[in-house]
Chain A
Amino acid sequence: MTPPLDLAVEPGDWLRSVVALRDEGCEVFDFLTAVDRGQVIEVVVRVMNPATKAATMVWTTVPADAAELASLSEHYLGATWCERETAEMFGVRFMGLADQRPLLLRATLGRPPMLKESALVARAVREWPGAAQATDDGRQGGNPSRRRQLPPGVPDDFLRPDRSSLDQSAGTT
Chain B
Amino acid sequence: MIPTEAHGTIALQPSACTSCMICVRECPTWCIELESHTEQVSEPDARRPKTVNILDAFRIDFGLCMYCGICVDLCPFDALAWSPEHDLAATTAGGLVLGIDELSRAWPNRNPTSGS
Contact = CB atoms under 8 A, between A and B. Distances in A.
B30 A132 contact: no
Nearest to A128: B30
A123 to B, nearest CB: 7
Contacts of A126: 30
Interface stretch (A3-11, A60-68, A135-143): A135-143
Interface residues of A, number: 17
A134 interface: yes
B57 to A, nearest CB: 9
Contacts of A151: 25, 30
A161 interface: no
A17 to B, nearest CB: 32
A151 B27 CA distance: 11
A89 to B, nearest CB: 16
A128 B37 CA distance: 18
Nearest to A139: B51
B21 A130 contact: yes
A126 B53 CA distance: 26
Given A141-B38, A141-B53, A142-B53, A129 B33 contact: yes
A126 B16 CA distance: 29
Interface residues of B, number: 22
A152 to B, nearest CB: 8
Contact of A135 (B18, B26, B30, B76): B18
Interface of A is mostly: loop
B24 A141 contact: no
A126 B30 CA distance: 10
Contacts of A128: 30
A132 B32 CA distance: 13
Contacts of B37: 141-143
Given A129-B24, A132-B21, A134-B21, A139 B38 contact: yes
A143 B36 CA distance: 8
Interface in A104-145: 123, 126, 128-130, 132-136, 138-143
B20 interface: yes
Contact of B19 (A123, A129, A130, A142): A142
Contacts of B26: 130
Nearest to A153: B28
A87 to B, nearest CB: 23
Given A138-B53, A139-B38, 5 more contacts: A130-B30, A132-B34, A133-B21, A136-B21, A140-B38
